[in-house]
Amino acid sequence: MNSQSIQINNDADYHAALEAISKYQTQKLSNEIAGSRSYQSTTTYVEKFLAIENTISVSETTIDGTIISVNDCFIKLSGYSRSELIGNSHRILKSGVHPKSFYEKMKKCLWDGKKWSGEVCDRAKNGTIFWVHSVIFPVIDFETKEIKSYLCIMHDITERKRIENLQAKSQYQLIQLQKMDSIGKMTSGIAHDFNNIVTVILGFSRVGLTFCHKQNFEKLLPCLEQIQLASNRAADLVNKMLMFCSENITKAIKPIDPSGIVEEVTKISHMLRAGISTEVSITLVNSLNDKSASILIDPTELHQILTNLMVNAYDAIDASNRQNSIISISVFSDFVEENLFCTSCGKKIEGDFITISVSDTGMGISPQELDDIFDPFFTTKEIGNGTGLGLSVVSGIIHNEDGHIVVESVLDAGTTFYLLFPAVYKNANDDDDIADLNHELNETYPQSKFKICVVDDEEGICLLLDEDLTSLGHDVKTFSDSLKAKAFFNENPDYFDVIITDYTMPNLTGLDLANFMLSIRPELPILICTGYSGKLKSSDDLPKGNTFLIKKPLDIQIINETIKKISNTKKFNN
């Protein structure tokens, strides 16, 4: 390489330059650098061997991080003068956005003599935040194998990050609008379902009370069983709605089995439109026999995608012919090796996929409309019957997980949407290992009697937990006022072994109560119960310590197992 300038016009040029620089770090170069220059020289490695103009910033530092050379682009980007930078360190640009661990990992990589690359948020002299894609090369002495200096090359990606943030916000808004649209469509079906459930509960409660008064206890048991079944249906319906309304739109980090979610969506499909389950035949074909097969997607988002496609399938069927129409949903493994292209992004599809298809026998989509169906706000529905947001959202979610969509449609015959997700296969022994671990833990859990504090502003729940926990052998004290619970604990901080508290309560929330108790007894086991909270979504949102999140409606078996589990922890025993 000579001192001829490298012009960087786009990201491709930038990465080509990085590759050239990387190749330039040969043994010959390292030997030449080590033998030809000293740090006292006014002509540094950067100035002598590398001249890059306009859009790429270059700096060189000593092994302790002191800047010894910068190019003009670095000066322009940072806003500092050359004299302000040389002799200083890159900490002068620190923005405070990255945690300490981010820089520690970077240092470890460089100290090990490896190249580090990543996106870094920096702060210019005038306080402006900017983003760079940074690559840092250690310059190693060929003979001694020692690191002589570090070469840092930074490409300004601030505009790209700004566009990405705007796209992410737009995608979020589209998803939320689509959810609201779908919820509006589901309302009548949900109301119908809840009214049926309430009818069963009220009816069998009335009949059961009659049998109690007549002391006809044999007929009481079936009534209680029907009440329990109807209550479980109500709880399941609420959980599905909360899942659907969740604001979680992050990239999935855990593979899931799609079969269960597909089955759930099929079962609740009657909520998509009032009467859909009786008007249109809905079939499910699950050909995914491999239990190790899974896909990488957030369960909530998969629910939303399938819900949207089921709504579209129903709407595509002519109202006069619904009794003879079919909506089918299938799950199967598929290895794609022929010429297949994504209808949404146009890219060629190859590899091992798990496919979910949704088909209808409706009016179909014309070739002209097929080219536009994934555009935001495009819709073929009449004004007031659709937002046109659905398929745009579906496409965004699927492509966020490296998936693709193929659409096949014939006018007046029907449409099929194929959702292709890259297949992820888990170790066949994983489930066995988990089962063995659970069995081992259950064997070691002690069956002990504990003093338990129950706090809930709903007196019925206090009475229920008192009855359930007492029947399990525990000593229970209940409070329907969180302030009274706080006062009692303040006077008797060592009285209770376990706290069970509701999250949403007047005067003092369960979270505030838990924080107060933990400030006095950091090791105290606390179970915080919630039906729904925008701030409390998982155990990660709880205070640090021996705290657990319990979802409502409360299941006494889950509560008891949690108590047994935490009773065996080191913190509890100490």
pLDDT tens-digit readout, 235-281:
766 765 665 555 544 455 578 888 888 887 777 665 555 445 556 77
Fold of 163-425: Heat Shock Protein 90 (3.30.565)
The band of 20, judged by pLDDT with boundaries at 50, 70 and 90, is low
Closest C-alpha among 400, 387, 344, 554 to residue 467: 554
- Cβ count within 10 A of residue 373: 24
91 has pLDDT over 70:
yes
Summarize the confidence of residues 493-499 as an average pLDDT.
94
Eight-class DSSP state of 94: B
Distance CA 334, CA 288 (A): 10
Distance CA 103, CA 560 (A): 43
Distance CA 208, CA 223 (A): 6
Same fold for the pair 6-156 and 430-573: no
What per-residue confidence (pLDDT) applies to 17?
53
Q: How far is CA 452 from CA 179, 449, 521, 551, in A?
A: 41, 9, 15, 18
Sign, CA torsion 143/146/149/152: positive
Distance CA 153, CA 155 (A): 7
What per-residue confidence (pLDDT) applies to 499?
94
Q: Is 133 exposed, middle or buried (0-12, 13-18, 19+ CB in 10 A)?
A: buried
Query: What is the model's pTM?
Result: 0.43
Q: Where are the domains of the chain?
A: 6-156, 163-425, 430-573
Neighbour-count burial for 226-237, b at 16+ CB within 10 Å, e otherwise: bbeebeebbbeb
CB 310 within 8 A of CB 360: no
The band of 40, judged by pLDDT with boundaries at 50, 70 and 90, is very low
Closest C-alpha among 267, 287, 291, 269 to residue 279: 269
Closest C-alpha among 406, 306, 321, 303 to residue 361: 321
The band of 334, judged by pLDDT with boundaries at 50, 70 and 90, is confident
The band of 18, judged by pLDDT with boundaries at 50, 70 and 90, is low
290 has pLDDT over 50:
yes
Summarize the confidence of residues 205-227 as an average pLDDT.
85
CB 34 within 8 A of CB 142: yes
Which comes out higher in pLDDT, residue 200 or 347?
Answer: 347
Distance CA 116, CA 138 (A): 9
Phi, psi values for residue 451, rounded to 5°: -90, 115
- Give the DSSP H or E segment for 329: strand 326-336
Collapsing DSSP states into helix, strand and coil, what is residue 537? coil
What per-residue confidence (pLDDT) applies to 80?
94
pLDDT tens-digit readout, 292-328:
788 988 777 787 788 778 878 888 887 666 777 888 9
Selection from 168-172, 304-308, 461-465, 498-502 with the highest mean pLDDT: 498-502
Rounded percentage of the chain residues whose pLDDT exceeds 70:
70
The tokens for 208 are: 């059961």
39 has pLDDT over 80:
no
Fold of 430-573: Rossmann fold (3.40.50)
346 has pLDDT over 70:
yes
Q: Range with the lowest mean pLDDT among 128-137, 174-183, 469-478, 504-513?
A: 174-183
What per-residue confidence (pLDDT) applies to 88?
92
Which comes out higher in pLDDT, residue 29 or 478?
Answer: 478
Fold of 6-156: Beta-Lactamase (3.30.450)
The mean of the pLDDT values for the chain is 76
- Give the DSSP H or E segment for 414: strand 414-422
pLDDT tens-digit readout, 423-451:
987 654 444 443 443 443 344 334 568 99
Summarize the confidence of residues 374-403 as an average pLDDT.
68
Which comes out higher in pLDDT, residue 547 or 182?
Answer: 547
What per-residue confidence (pLDDT) applies to 488?
96
Neighbour-count burial for 54-78, b at 16+ CB within 10 Å, e otherwise: ebbbbbbbeeeeebbbbbebbbebb
Summarize the confidence of residues 135-141 as an average pLDDT.
80
pLDDT tens-digit readout, 502-538:
988 888 999 899 999 999 999 899 999 887 655 555 5
CA dihedral 45, 47, 48, 49 (to 10 degrees): 70
Which comes out higher in pLDDT, residue 106 or 168?
Answer: 106
8 has pLDDT over 80:
no
- Cβ count within 10 A of residue 302: 24
Summarize the confidence of residues 118-134 as an average pLDDT.
92
The band of 487, judged by pLDDT with boundaries at 50, 70 and 90, is very high
Q: Range with the lowest mean pLDDT among 139-148, 174-183, 330-339, 414-423?
A: 174-183
